[in-house]
Structure 1
Amino acid sequence: MTTVRPTSEATRAVPRPARLRPADVLRLALVGPRTRRLRSTLSAFGIALGIAAVVAVTGISASNQAHLLDQLDRLGSNLLTVTPGTGPDGKEVPLPKESVAMLGRIAPVQRASATSETGAAIYRTALVPGSQSNNLSVLSAQLDLLGTLRAKLRFGRWLDRGTERLPVVVLGDSAARRLGVTGPGGKVWIATPDAGGDWYGVLGVLRPSELVPAIDDSALVGRPQATAHLAGTSTPTTVYLRVHPDRVTDVQAVAGATANPAQPSAVAVGRPSDLLAARAETKNALTGLVLALAGVALLVGGVGIANTMVVGIMERRGEIGLRRALGARQGQIALQFLLEAALLGLLGGVTGAAIGTGAVAGYAAVHGWPPALPVTWISTGPAVAVTVGTLAGLYPALHAARMPPTSALRSA
């Protein structure tokens, strides 16, 4: 019996599986999204919401921080306040009369000014009983207080050497509103501890003070006038120091001993700008919570893509079986569906980055903040979305690749 051996020509005639070109793979991956547009759009929208939330939250938080830093730059984060503290017996220890001058001699201190309490109270009319308090303070102020605080006038003018001895007053923003003063030329009644009082002309009204809110609820008079007629004292109640920005910590360390050498521990030294910084930290904590919710949105979007892919594979069994029967390899099938999931993620990522960018710009414009776009998240958001989409489509793609051609054609 003669054995027929295959010739080399016959061997070369055996067909080999062809490899798909990248353009062909991309064309096949676009079949699903193009034929099931609504379902694909809804799946990508879940990813878009997550990316948009991340971009919007980080951008709005950064814009708010930029606004806060801009405020601190304008107002100055180098303002210190020195106030009386408590002694060992728990009682308040007044600052010495010379404390303002002594603090002003510290080398990094650029400006020093102070306010002092008086025994007077301020009202809209003289008919209000003096026993009723309206929580407004009458303080005596040094002439350089306005420059030290970097406060601004809403209207009118500040005290000077010609007016500090006259019955005139400069009102804080909140005090002016509560007393009904809406313009220059108004008058208010200042009652003294001896049940007397007098009308004082409103010399000016200050704008709201971000760093020193206590000034907003105060009526400021000249020190000579307060000492002579309002039971005022020359002992400072609050000393304000404008310090070199790079030496704030150094001045804080020696301010107590300088203001009251006899009892340095009975002096309280504060930094009003720390309150603004604490407010920013509180908002950053809220930002972390919202970012966690954005992560949940990304997870939900990934589940939506996985669900879409699984349903699509079940509907396209006939296509999968036919391609397998014609020689398509498992890797080619898996790559097709994996790329389809990645394209859905990319669509959601780009859309979400655009939505988030628009939200940041719009929110900042409404509040008058400088828009701080999170470039990192805008650029990496689509990449994150592609990663989520790819991971979500991994199992459906492998399931489609392992589907036997005969069973796929039979169930089509």
Structure 2
Amino acid sequence: MKILDLWNEAAAGLLARPVRSALTALGTVLGIATLVITLGTAATAGNQIVGRFDELTATSVTVDVPGDDRPLVGWDDVREVTRLRGVTSAAAVAEAKESANISVRANELVDPSRMTELTLTVVASSPGLPEAVKGRMLQGRYFDAGHLARGDRVVVLGERAAQLLGVTRLDRAPAVFIGTHAYTVIGVLGDLRREKSLGSAVLLPPTIGQRFGLREVTRVLINTSIGAADLIAKQAPLALSPSNAAMLQVTAPQSPTRARDGVENDVNALFLILGLVSLVVGAVGIANVTLVTVMERVTEIGLRRALGAARRHVAAQFLLESSLTGLTGGVVGASVGVVAIVVICAVKQWTPVLDVRLAVAAPIAGALVGLLAGLYPALRAARMEPVDALR
């Protein structure tokens, strides 16, 4: 029996009862569509979570410098970190217990309407702090290398500290008194996305901070490009202090790729079983209908055997019919699944992510399900004797 003849006979058998064939393929359509939607939605959701992953957390690296008899990291060492590929900004910060509660006054006048003397935290930092804490200057400017070189007595207030001290304008060069010395306020730093506690602090240049015990760098704040945090976490200690890199403690975020893979695996584990159950139901439907078809076509089978058809020819015909049913269900199910994923992403305004291999494998899986489902009916049809079938 030629392959073309076998194909024509199988197609004729399916088209003889198109409604029954369509209903038989419906189970496979539902199973394949459920699998495609589940896997596609899992991949899309994982990618969407990475897209909306907290960029601040994913790109923030902190290097803690322990106290030692000699400084492990100098103020100028931060420049070495900024040279690393993947670093977008970095700044050094110095904090000390004795500078956590220092009396700060806005002026020498007594104003009953507001507090003019507060206990605030005084922090020394390098000039790149606004970028390192993901903030912006609400007023004025941040001190730079020129202020450090001249030893200017200037400060920058955090947004909350400026509000408490009543510093609302900088056009008249207001000053704050830290202890008995006056310092000119040149800027107000706010909208901090990182190290929000600095919003209530008084920020000093390192040259001024030495007067308050802020001589040594205690932390280095580093921002990286997405995906570079792990690498920078390994390189930063060597760049800051090559001879004492092992003593520096680095805090790096978890890789967004791991989060995406974890979400995708969780969604797959929850819903993949649903698609498999639907696929099993479709396979049972194909097997049942194919078996009924064999019983209805006993006379046809007997006539074919009497005319010289071998057992393998009869078995191949019914196997091909069930495989075509599964293949049709797989193609339709894969198409429905892809369209459903696109619609879901359009409604949610997501970027659809679908593995091309999944769309190609779905019809093949449908054909395989149909083949396995038609195996028993085909073998039963092949075992019929011509005389018994015709009788």
TM-score band, normalised by shorter chain: 0.5 to 0.7
Structure 2 runs not aligned, ≥5 long:
102-113, 144-153, 162-167, 170-178, 180-186
CA distance in 1, matches of 2:218, 2:315: 77
Answering whether residue 26 of structure 2 is matched by residue 24 of structure 1, we say no
1:219 is paired with a residue of what secondary structure? Answer: helix
Task: State the TM-score, normalized to the length of structure 2.
Answer: 0.64
Q: How does 1:21-60 map to 2 (within 5 A)?
A: 21-22=5-6, 24-31=8-15, 33-34=17-18, 36-37=20-21, 40-41=22-23, 43-60=24-41
Q: 1:285 aligns with which of 259, 265, 276?
A: 265
Q: How does 1:1-400 map to 2 (within 5 A)?
A: 21-22=5-6, 24-31=8-15, 33-34=17-18, 36-37=20-21, 40-41=22-23, 43-67=24-48, 80-84=61-65, 96=71, 98-106=73-81, 107-108=83-84, 110=87, 111-115=89-93, 119=100, 144-148=128-132, 151=134, 157=138, 160-161=141-142, 165=155, 167-169=157-159, 204-205=190-191, 215=195, 219=199, 221=201, 223-224=203-204, 233=214, 236-242=217-223, 252-253=233-234, 255-256=236-237, 259=240, 264-272=245-253, 274-287=254-267, 289-290=269-270, 293=273, 294-295=275-276, 297-325=278-306, 328-400=309-381
CA distance in 2, matches of 1:95, 1:356: 64
Describe the superposition over 1:26-47 as per-residue Cα deviations: whole angstroms up to 9, x where unpaired. 443314651525xx52x43333
Distance 1:61 1:18, change over 3 A: closer
Which AA in structure 2 matches 1:105? E
> 1:21 Cα shift?
2.7
Distance 1:307 1:279, change over 3 A: same
Describe the superposition over 1:314-343 as per-residue Cα deviations: whole angstroms up to 9, x where unpaired. 343344335445655434432331122112
CA distance in 1, matches of 2:238, 2:4: 81
Kept in 2: contact 1:317–1:408 (CA 8 A): yes
CA distance in 2, matches of 1:95, 1:290: 55
Structure 1 runs not aligned, ≥5 long:
1-16, 86-91, 121-125, 131-136, 172-183, 186-193, 195-200
> 1:142 Cα shift?
5.3
Kept in 2: contact 1:29–1:339 (CA 8 A): no
> 1:386 Cα shift?
0.8
> 1:104 Cα shift?
2.3
Kept in 2: contact 1:29–1:336 (CA 8 A): no
Which AA in structure 2 matches 1:343? L
CA distance in 2, matches of 1:139, 1:166: 10
Percent of aligned positions that are identical: 29
Which AA in structure 2 matches 1:47? T
Kept in 2: contact 1:50–1:298 (CA 8 A): yes
Which AA in structure 1 matches 2:159? V
Kept in 2: contact 1:349–1:383 (CA 8 A): yes
1:372 is paired with a residue of what secondary structure? Answer: coil
1:21 is paired with a residue of what secondary structure? Answer: helix
Distance 1:400 1:170, change over 3 A: farther
Kept in 2: contact 1:119–1:232 (CA 8 A): no
CA distance in 1, matches of 2:306, 2:74: 95
Which AA in structure 1 matches 2:84? P
Which AA in structure 1 matches 2:381? A
| Equivalence for 2:150 | none
